[in-house]
Amino acid sequence: MRMTFLGAAGTVTGSKYLLEHHDHHVLIDCGLFQGYKQLRLHNWDPFQVPVRDLDAIVLTHAHLDHSGYLPVLVRNGYRGPVYATPATCELVKILLRDSGRLQEEEAEFANRHGFSKHTPALPLYTEQDAEQALKLLRPVELHHRVQIIPGMSILLRCAGHILGAATVEVVADGITLVCSGDLGRPNDPLMFAPETIEQADYLLVESTYGDRLHPVESPEEQLAQVITRTALRHGITLVPSFAVGRAQLLMYYLYRLIQKRAIPNLPIYLNSPMATDVTRLYQRFRSEHRLSPQECEGMCHVAHFVRSTRDSIELDQQRTPAVIIAASGMATGGRVLHHLKALAPNPLNTLLVPGFQAGGTRGAQIVAGAPSVRIHGKDVPIRAEVVPMETLSAHADADEIMQWLRGFKQPPKHTYVVHGEPNASDVLRRRISLELGWSVSVPEYRDSVELTRIEQPSSPSP
């Protein structure tokens, strides 16, 4: 079996790992590149093999950096199955439709206002492309082994992180490959801890936070302080947020703060139709998260759901204290951009930026203290208070990744550190080598490796 790293190698986005087994081709994850322009340009590259030669795709979870490239492959001829957990399938339906629609809207907006360098600006894919991709989804329950091509099977286990997220165990010709996907935190307030895995011949492990630890302070207390401080100066707290996972965690904490009367009585808006639909899935898949029925109901009703474009535009006229949660999480697109244009220049307001911000994104620029960011062809000054918030991450930090790795009863033959910025991946590589004594490396984009069977030592002759 041969594995080629087509994404999330040397960077934290674009997760794609191509497996070649005899004459078959399987793709683990199918993610978009995000962030720096040189990475985003890879989204337009020809695929590594003829798309019609792909036999199956397996998704670890629904985030676009793991699923968002799927409509491109389908538009270019892919017709095979796409395997994922039932919750991931439902989330992918929401995310891909929204992603296709958003790309069409942004291309149309760029053409109408003439700020694109391309004439005409084109979407990477359309909402119709996304609809075609959704027809290929094949739900697979956790812990049910499924043969996906002759001689190759998969087994999905809970990875925490977000609803439906899974680690993927691939078995072919006596070789076991485990892909961690994105690992959640052991004590996440919403999601269960990642399941322990005891054995693998080869391992892919993510390293988003491979070089750091999450802060120990309470996210509830930090949220309360920021929202209260902003409200006292009659400002608005704007929170760029991923629609899946992050938005629900924010609303859970806001529900708790309101129950304890720890923040002022002010309106809370969730300005993301996608996040609204995602939130309702937490009620449908109640067995897959930690929330009680009462907590789930409270989280789902703490905010005013903003659906229409007109209502979104009217939010920019808000002049009294409020909290606005809007997609996207790294301010790369979506409704949050219009709110940034309206709210970021006002020093009374606060930009609360939660979680990891990939290099090259507007979120990373804002957190780094940029005096302005470019939105829709114009420079928008950042005069609002900027508060990075790393306590809301759904990713395991460095110690938590190491804790998960220690669950293996014996070292894999080799471990590949993926899905991290260069420093994060290399720091984690060193820790795995020094603390565990494992064979480990950090692959580069388009590296290709042979996965060979581990020969058992022969018994001595009598």
Give per-residue pLDDT as tens, 391-443. 888 899 999 999 999 999 999 999 999 999 999 999 999 999 999 999 999 99
Note the pLDDT tens digit of each residue in 148-188: 999 999 999 999 999 999 999 999 999 999 999 999 999 99
- How confident is residue 461, by pLDDT bands cut at 50, 70 and 90? very low
Q: Which residue in the block uniquely carries the two structure tokens 């947020």?
A: 241
The rounded distance, in Å, linking the Cα atoms of 380 and 347 is 13
**Strands 2-5 and 17-21, sheet pairing:** antiparallel
pLDDT the model gives residue 117? 67
> What letters, b where the CB count within 10 A reaches 16 and e where it falls short, cover 124-159?
bbbbebbebbbebbeebebeeebebbeebebbbbbb
Say which residues have a Cβ less than 8 Å from residue 371's Cβ, sequence separation at least 6. 381, 382
pLDDT the model gives residue 86? 98
- One-letter amino acid at 370 equals A
Partner residues linked to 50 by β-bridges: none
**Strands 2-5 and 448-450, sheet pairing:** antiparallel
The rounded distance, in Å, linking the Cα atoms of 439 and 415 is 6
Give one DSSP letter per residue of 142-182, joined into a string. Answer: TT--EEEETTEEEEEEE--SSTT-EEEEEEETTEEEEE--S
pLDDT the model gives residue 66? 97
Q: Residues in the chain, how many?
A: 462
The rounded distance, in Å, linking the Cα atoms of 99 and 31 is 12
pTM, entire model: 0.89
pLDDT the model gives residue 354? 87
In the sheet that holds 448-450, the strands lie side by side as 137-139, 82-84, 56-58, 24-28, 17-21, 2-5, 448-450
pLDDT the model gives residue 307? 85
Give the mean pLDDT of the chain: 93
Report, as an integer, the average pLDDT of 81-87.
98
Q: 26 by DSSP, 3-state: which?
A: strand
Note the pLDDT tens digit of each residue in 330-346: 888 888 999 999 999 99
pLDDT the model gives residue 454? 67
Note the pLDDT tens digit of each residue in 9-59: 999 999 999 999 999 999 999 999 987 889 999 999 999 899 999 999 999
The dihedral formed by the CA atoms of 398, 353, 60 and 18, expressed in degrees to the nearest 10: -80
- One-letter amino acid at 118 equals H
Contact (CB, 8 A) for 268 and 254: yes
**Strands 372-375 and 378-381, sheet pairing:** antiparallel
- How confident is residue 462, by pLDDT bands cut at 50, 70 and 90? very low
Contact (CB, 8 A) for 27 and 17: yes
Whole-number percent of the chain with pLDDT over 70: 97
* Residue 250: pLDDT over 60: yes
pLDDT the model gives residue 282? 92
Convert 357-374 into a string of H (helix), E (strand) and C (coil): CCCCCHHHHHHCCCCEEE
- How confident is residue 116, by pLDDT bands cut at 50, 70 and 90? low
Q: Which two structure tokens, joined as six digits, stand for 402? A: 């190491």
Q: 178 by DSSP, 3-state: which?
A: strand
More confident site: 122 or 90: 90
Whole-number percent of the chain with pLDDT over 90: 79
The rounded distance, in Å, linking the Cα atoms of 351 and 359 is 18
What the chain holds in terms of domains, given with CATH numbers, is 2-212+394-450 (3.60.15.10), 219-392 (3.40.50.10890)
Q: Which two structure tokens, joined as six digits, stand for 376? A: 């829709």
* Residue 200: pLDDT over 90: yes
CA angle 404, 408, 414 (to 5 degrees): 100
The rounded distance, in Å, linking the Cα atoms of 256 and 388 is 21
Burial class (CB in 10 A: 0-12, 13-18, 19+), 202: buried
Question: How many C-beta neighbours within 10 Å does residue 53 have?
Answer: 15
* Residue 456: pLDDT over 70: no
The dihedral region occupied by 423, where left means phi > 0, alpha psi between -120 and 50, and beta the remainder, is alpha
Query: Could you give the count of Cα atoms lying within 13 Å of 258 in the half-sphere of its Cβ?
Result: 17
Strand spans (E) along 319-433: 322-326, 350-354, 372-375, 378-381, 385-389, 414-418
The rounded distance, in Å, linking the Cα atoms of 101 and 69 is 14
pLDDT the model gives residue 459? 47
The rounded distance, in Å, linking the Cα atoms of 366 and 416 is 32
Q: Which two structure tokens, joined as six digits, stand for 116? A: 């694109």
* Cα Rg of the chain, angstroms: 22
CA angle 31, 36, 38 (to 5 degrees): 85
- One-letter amino acid at 222 equals Q
The rounded distance, in Å, linking the Cα atoms of 248 and 299 is 7
The rounded distance, in Å, linking the Cα atoms of 101 and 186 is 35
The rounded distance, in Å, linking the Cα atoms of 418 and 434 is 18
Tally DSSP H helices, then E strands, for the chain: 14, 22
